[in-house]
Structure formats: C-alpha cells, structure tokens
C-alpha cells in the first residue's frame, strides 16, 4: 500500500493577539497521496494560508500531528524544519521571489547550494530543471530580461531542482494575466502527468478548477474535500 505524502491529524493553530485568542485552524485532518494535484481554496481568513504554512513546514501546529513523507514534523525545531523544507518542499510564490541580479541558471541552482552540491552538479541539475519548463534558452537571462510568465517558469524550475516530495504553489498566477496564467496551469498539468505531487493555494475558482481535487476551507475548518469532476484544460496547441 502506498504511503501518503501528507497526513494531518486534528491540527489546530492558535494565535494570541492582545487579549484575544485567534483560532486560525480548528481540527483539520487531511491525507494527500503521492502524485495528487490538490487545490486549497477559501476566502480571506478561511485558514488556507495557515494550512499552507504548516504543510510547507514554515510553521508548526498548536495541536495535532503532521506527518510529511513518513516523518513527524509537528514538533521539529526551526533548524530541523529548514532542513525538511529544503529536501521535501518545492515552493512557488505569487511574486516569483527571484534574485534580481542573478541569472535564471543561478536562481534555479540556489537550493542546491544549501543541499551541498558541487558547482558543476548544481549547474547540470539547474539546466535540466530549466529545460523541463522550456526555458533552457534563457539560462543566462536575468529576471528583468524575462516576461512575467518566464519568471514564473524559472521559479517553478527552482522548485523542481531538488526533486521535492511536494510542489507547493501559493497563488501561482496572482501576478499574471489570464493567458499567461493558463499557460502556467498547463505546465502544472504536465508536471502532474509526470508524477509530481502538487498543492496549490488559491482564492480563484477558475484556477482551482485546474486541480484534480479541491479542499475548501472556511473558518479554519475543512468545509468540503472532493475530487474535481470537471478538470479545466486550456492546453495550447
């Protein structure tokens, strides 16, 4: 039997703001199998960003258990979490988060420095990752020489370069026009078809509909968790 890549059991997250206790998450239990393509959806304040931060090992739950790829990460130290993030999670952000003075190749290779790869191995792996998103011909270009869609492809290549267990995309099309957004979603579909596990956080219904499973959150709880019967497709010929 396949081991789930993500398991949360009754996780809750609480924040103290002055005298008020904010319950960002309340008893969230979800399981995500390797190779799934899931969207976390919900309005502002629903808890989707908090859940993403916990799933991405950027934060720890107040209560409950989180198992990532067989490891209990619920109560790890900051240093342990940083190590898990580097090895297990590939992050894709709305604002790309690229180093402005570095080339595409150097931006993609950055996680490999922390992972201890040699320079030649870093460049080889980074070039392969750029090729996988169709940008190997832009390896020497800096972010200001690329379009928004190309910048997001570089960011996706950087997320892929360490062969992570999970690709975690936070509003990945938020800074893109609709045509470019659909091109990036087509790339996600291709990555999913290759066996990558993808979790996408979005508040946009049309973007969530590209995922194959939609988890809707409201008031810090899972409102619904269902397969998407009408997976959107805008594949460009």
Q: For the chain, list residues with pLDDT below 50.
A: 235-237
Q: Name the one residue in this structure whose structure tokens are 């808890």.
A: 47
pLDDT reported for residue 2: 67
Domains along the chain with CATH numbers: 35-58+78-227 (3.40.50.300)
With contact defined as beta carbons under 8 Å apart, do 207 and 200 qualify?
yes
- CA nearest to 184, candidates 213, 145, 155, 141: 155
Q: 213-218 and 221-227 as β-strands: parallel, antiparallel, unpaired? A: antiparallel
The tens digit of pLDDT for each residue in 12-22 reads 999 988 999 99
In contact, 96 and 176? CB cutoff 8 Å: no
Q: Give start and end residues of each alpha helix (H) in the chain.
A: 48-55, 78-88, 104-114, 119-132, 148-160, 178-193, 205-208
Indicate whether this model's pTM tops 0.85: yes
Q: What is the pLDDT of residue 229?
A: 87
pLDDT, position 25: 96
Please check whether residue 183 is in contact with residue 152, taking contact to mean a CB–CB distance below 8 angstroms.
no
Q: What is residue 218's DSSP assignment?
A: E
pLDDT value of position 235? 45
């Amino acid at each position: 039997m396949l081991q789930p890549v993500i398991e949360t059991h009754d996780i809750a997250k609480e924040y103290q703001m002055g005298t008020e206790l904010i319950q960002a998450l309340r008893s969230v239990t979800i399981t995500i199998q390797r190779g799934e393509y899931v969207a976390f959806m919900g309005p502002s304040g629903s808890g989707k960003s908090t859940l993403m931060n916990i799933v991405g090992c950027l934060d720890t739950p107040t209560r409950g258990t989180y198992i990532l790829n067989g490891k209990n990460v619920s109560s790890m130290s900051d240093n342990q979490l940083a190590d898990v993030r580097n090895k297990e999670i590939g992050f894709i952000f709305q604002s790309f988060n690229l180093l402005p003075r570095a080339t595409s190749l150097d931006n993609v290779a950055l996680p490999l420095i922390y992972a201890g790869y040699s320079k030649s191995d870093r460049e080889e792996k980074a070039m392969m990752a750029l090729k996988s998103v169709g940008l190997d011909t832009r390896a020497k270009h800096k972010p200001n020489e690329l379009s928004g869609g190309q910048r997001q492809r570089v960011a996706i290549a950087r997320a892929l370069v360490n062969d992570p267990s999970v690709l975690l995309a936070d509003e990945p099309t938020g800074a893109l026009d609709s045509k470019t957004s659909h091109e990036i979603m087509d790339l996600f579909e291709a990555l999913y078809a290759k066996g990558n596990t993808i979790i996408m956080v979005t508040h946009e219904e049309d973007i969530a509909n590209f995922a194959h499973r939609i988890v809707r959150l409201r008031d810090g709880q899972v409102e619904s968790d269902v397969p998407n019967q009408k997976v959107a497709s805008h594949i460009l010929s």
